[in-house]
Structure formats: C-alpha cells, structure tokens
C-alpha cells in the first residue's frame, strides 16, 4: 500500500472548500468582465530561461524540472508568462489589451500561514498603456472586488517605485544599497520605526540618511497631505517629482472611478519584492486577522521588453485565492451553500425505478441539477441522503402516485409535501424552487 500523502505546502480542495473557492473566483471574474477583461491562460510549465532574471532573489524558490535535455520550471507567478505570450502575440491582441487568468503558481517556500508551495491566483493586467487611468482602474477593480466579497475593512496601500528610488537618492544611499533599503522599510508595519532605523544603520546607511528615510515613511494622512509632504522632501529630484505627479494623477482617477476614500491610502513604506515593478505599486491588507497581503500588483513597463524588441507599458495585479479563501473560512464569510442540488429523485421499488430515472432525466433536460437514488431503499434513508447531499426538493413516485399519475414533491427545507401532476412535473418543480 502506498501512503496517501500530498507534497508539503500543497493541498487538496474537497467539495466543501471548492464551493467557496468557486464563489470567490466567480465573483472576482464577474467584476473583471464588467471592466472588459478577457481570459488569457498560459501553461504551468515554462522554459527556465523565461522565468530567470525577472523576480529577483527569490529565483532560488523556482521549482525546476528537467525533461530530456529541456531545462524547465513551474511558473512562479502569472505575470512573467504573460509578458512572454504578449511578446509572441502582440500583433494578434490589439492594444490596449486587458486580460485575466486564473491558475496555480509554485514557489518553493517553507509553508506557513497564508503561504503555500502551490497557490492559486487570479491575475489581471492592462497591457499597452502608460496612462494613470489604467493604474487607477486596476486599483478601483481591487477595491470593488474586495467589497463584493465582503471585506469591508480591507485597505489598499499604494506607493510608487520611483518615489522610493528618489528617497534613496535624496537620502544619499548608494544605488546598490537601495534594494536593501526597500526591503527594510517594507517591514515597517511588522517591526516598527525604531527597528527599521536600527536595521538601516546596521546595513550601512548613515544615521542621517536613516533619520531622513524614517521621517519619510512615517508620513500618513489624506493623499493630498502625504503627496505635499513627499514633494517637499523629494522636490529637487526630477524623477521623483515625475513619479509624484504620476501618483497624484492615479489617485485623482481612483476617486473619479467612484472608490470610497477610506478604502485606499498612500503608504510610503510599501516596497513590494518583485524586481520587475517600475511605477505604482499596491497591495491590500486586512487589519485582523493577520494574513499578509490579499493581493499585490503594480506597474511593470519593462518586463515585456525582455521578450521583445519593443517594450509595452503594463499594469497588473494578482488576487491571492488561498489567502482570500482562508480568511473567509476563518471569518465565516460568504454564502452558506446549504442547498446546491435542486432535486433528489427517490426510487420506491424495482418496478418503479425506470420511471424515477425518466423523471430525473426530464428535470435535467430542463437545466436542473438532479440526484437519484441508485436503487430502492427505505424512503427515510433516501430523504436523509437527499438532505445530506444538499437537495432542495425530494421527489417520490410510489405505487399510489403511479396509479393517480402524480408525483410527490417534498420540500426538504420545510418538510411540506404536495402532489403534482406527472406530466406537469418540470413546471411544478421549477415553481417550487422559486419559493
């Protein structure tokens, strides 16, 4: 016998889990469709060279595999494969191109809460425009989606990579040390300002520069206030000023798109790890319980250029389905899914089995989800199974019903039972389901 075990960090999704997971992804995809996104899906396996050199230090987390002499890897996210497929099909797609994709990605991390080696993401991107309207649109989508799922308290944190670069320059940090600075300030929420200052100094940043950086990342308040304060620190840096103007435009458009002010905030400490981001970056977090970010995204204007002579500006993000799901289970959110089968057709006796199966067939042809018994059994047992399997109605066709041309329809929600004419059964069942 083989021990039935699954690989660490990877989990099976049983029907109970899949109902909620499907609800989550259906809800999110519905929002994306209303914004005009189209589905574009790529393979899980890529040539290793496609993924290498795009994601930064975490490249060591790539699951690598070899088939014959082919050097392959499982995708680490869906963004890099998107860049590849866009570069190869640019002429067919028509810019700007808005895509979404639902699927697994793989990272060889040690498993922890909210972190799995196989995890599902719903990725969405707008390819081919650098307008701040596009950045604003994806942020609006994110806010709307979280609302729809019921995460009223979630907040979207927004920052800009070029503002961080400007901060590093203005503080006098060497270009090579900048990545380290981003990594440290990104931990502000977790370790606090004093620890950030300490770690900055430890990493070789001067006390003066560390103080400047800490002042900057402590900025908070309404976007206008924060932007003005940023401007006064970074005003002399040309690239940072451009980034501030860009971020201002994005924020203005987010408001125009109808997003409530309390659902997003500027967060000067937000850095995000993936090395391909070039502009605006954002993520969504929930204050309680702790779960890391529910989604993450930003603008990456140079990634497609790594696969093509011509680069294409792109902004995108990915929902973390595992985290959304785990949180919704923990917080008892989402529908209850008590009745997800329309009808269960009982089988009274061997003689009446054929007619019961015909009955089920008619209901299915009308588009209903129908279970049948797999043989005669005590009616009590059959009702019990019908209830357990989530049926709304149970149908009985017994000898008395057969001779009277009736079918008994029992509503398992209430226990009430009524007869219906055999030749009107589809309409009668549909009518019952409406109530």
Partner RNA sequence: GUGGCUGUAGCUCAAUGGCGGAGCACCUCACUGUGGAUGAGGGGGUUGUGGGUUCGAGUCCCAUCAGCCACCCCA
Q: Which residues make up the interface to RNA (CB under 7 A)? A: 5, 7-10, 56-58, 61, 77, 107-116, 119, 121, 183, 186-187, 190-191, 272-274, 283, 290, 292-296, 318-320, 322-323, 348, 378-381, 383-384, 387-388, 396, 398-401, 408, 410-415, 417
SS3 330: helix
- The residue (of 191 and 207) whose beta carbon lies closer to RNA is 191
* Residue 412 φ then ψ, to 5°: -70, -15
The angle at the Cα of 217, spanning 271 to 157, to the nearest 5 degrees, equals 50
CB of 236 to RNA, least distance (A): 29
SS3 238: helix
- The residue (of 72 and 291) whose beta carbon lies closer to RNA is 291
CB of 433 to RNA, least distance (A): 15
- Dist CA 129 CA 108 (whole Å): 33
CB of 283 to RNA, least distance (A): 6
The DSSP element (H or E) to which 98 belongs, if any, is strand 97-106
CB of 95 to RNA, least distance (A): 24
CB of 412 to RNA, least distance (A): 4
The DSSP element (H or E) to which 349 belongs, if any, is none
CB of 416 to RNA, least distance (A): 7
Q: Tokens 């399997």 — which residue?
A: 389
- The residue (of 57 and 224) whose beta carbon lies closer to RNA is 57
Cis peptide before 96 (omega within 30 of 0): yes
- The residue (of 89 and 381) whose beta carbon lies closer to RNA is 381
- The residue (of 130 and 411) whose beta carbon lies closer to RNA is 411
- The residue (of 237 and 323) whose beta carbon lies closer to RNA is 323
CB of 263 to RNA, least distance (A): 17
* Residue 111 φ then ψ, to 5°: -65, 145
- Dist CA 203 CA 211 (whole Å): 14
- The residue (of 69 and 414) whose beta carbon lies closer to RNA is 414
139: how many CB neighbours lie within 10 A of its CB? 26
CB of 101 to RNA, least distance (A): 13
HSE-CB at 69 with a 13 A cutoff on CA atoms is 0
DSSP string, 112-180: BTTB-SEEEEEEEEEES---HHHHHHHHHHHHHHHHHHT-TT-EEEEEEHHHHHHHHHHTT--HHHHHH
- The residue (of 112 and 434) whose beta carbon lies closer to RNA is 112
- Dist CA 150 CA 318 (whole Å): 18
- The residue (of 135 and 283) whose beta carbon lies closer to RNA is 283
DSSP string, 260-319: -GGGEEE-TT---S-TT--SEEEEEE-SSS--SEEEEEEE-SSTGGGGSSS---EEEEEE
* Residue 323 φ then ψ, to 5°: -70, -40
The angle at the Cα of 419, spanning 402 to 395, to the nearest 5 degrees, equals 75
- The residue (of 189 and 238) whose beta carbon lies closer to RNA is 189
- Dist CA 134 CA 131 (whole Å): 6
CB of 364 to RNA, least distance (A): 22
- Radius of gyration, alpha carbons of the chain: 28
Contact 272, 295 (CB under 8 A): no
CB of 94 to RNA, least distance (A): 27
């Amino acid at each position: 016998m083989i021990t039935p075990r699954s690989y660490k960090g990877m989990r099976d999704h049983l029907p109970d889990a899949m109902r909620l997971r499907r609800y989550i992804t259906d809800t999110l995809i519905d929002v994306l469709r209303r914004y005009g996104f189209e589905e574009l899906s790529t393979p899980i396996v890529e040539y290793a060279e496609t993924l290498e050199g795009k994601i930064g230090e975490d490249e060591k987390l790539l699951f690598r595999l070899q088939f014959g002499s082919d050097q392959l890897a499982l995708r680490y996210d869906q963004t890099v494969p998107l860049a590849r497929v866009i570069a190869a099909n640019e002429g067919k797609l028509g810019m700007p191109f808005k895509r979404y994709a639902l699927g697994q990605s793989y990272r060889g991390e040690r498993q922890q809460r909210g972190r799995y080696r196989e995890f599902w993401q719903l990725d969405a991107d707008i390819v081919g425009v650098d307008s701040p309207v596009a950045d604003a649109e994806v942020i609006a989508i994110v806010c709307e989606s979280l609302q729809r799922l019921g995460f009223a308290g979630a907040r979207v944190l927004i920052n800009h990579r070029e503002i961080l670069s400007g901060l590093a320059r203005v503080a006098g940090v060497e270009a090579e040390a900048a990545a380290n600075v981003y990594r440290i300030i990104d931990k502000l929420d977790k370790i606090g300002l004093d620890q950030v200052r300490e770690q900055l100094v430890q990493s070789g940043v001067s006390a003066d520069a560390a103080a400047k950086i800490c002042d900057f990342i402590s900025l908070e308040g309404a976007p206008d206030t924060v932007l003005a304060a940023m401007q006064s620190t970074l005003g002399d840096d040309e690239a940072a000023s451009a980034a501030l103007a860009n971020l201002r435009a994005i924020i203005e458009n987010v408001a125009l798109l109808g997003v409530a002010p309390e659902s997003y905030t500027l967060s000067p400490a937000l850095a995000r790890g993936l090395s391909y981001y070039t502009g605006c970056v954002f993520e969504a977090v929930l204050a309680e319980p702790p779960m890391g970010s529910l989604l993450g995204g930003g603008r990456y204007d140079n990634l497609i250029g790594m696969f093509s002579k011509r680069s294409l500006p792109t902004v995108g993000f990915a929902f973390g389905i595992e985290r959304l799901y785990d949180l919704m289970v923990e917080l008892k959110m989402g529908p209850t899914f008590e009745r997800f089968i329309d009808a269960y057709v009982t089988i009274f006796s061997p003689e009446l089995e054929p007619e019961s199966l015909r009955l089920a067939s008619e209901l299915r042809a009308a588009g209903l989800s129908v279970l049948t018994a797999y043989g005669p059994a005590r009616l009590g047992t059959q009702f019990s199974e019908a209830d357990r399997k989530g049926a709304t109605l149970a149908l009985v066709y017994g000898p008395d019903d057969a001779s009277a041309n009736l079918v008994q329809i029992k509503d398992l929600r209430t226990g009430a039972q009524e007869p219906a004419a055999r030749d009107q059964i589809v309409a009668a069942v549909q009518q019952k389901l409406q109530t």
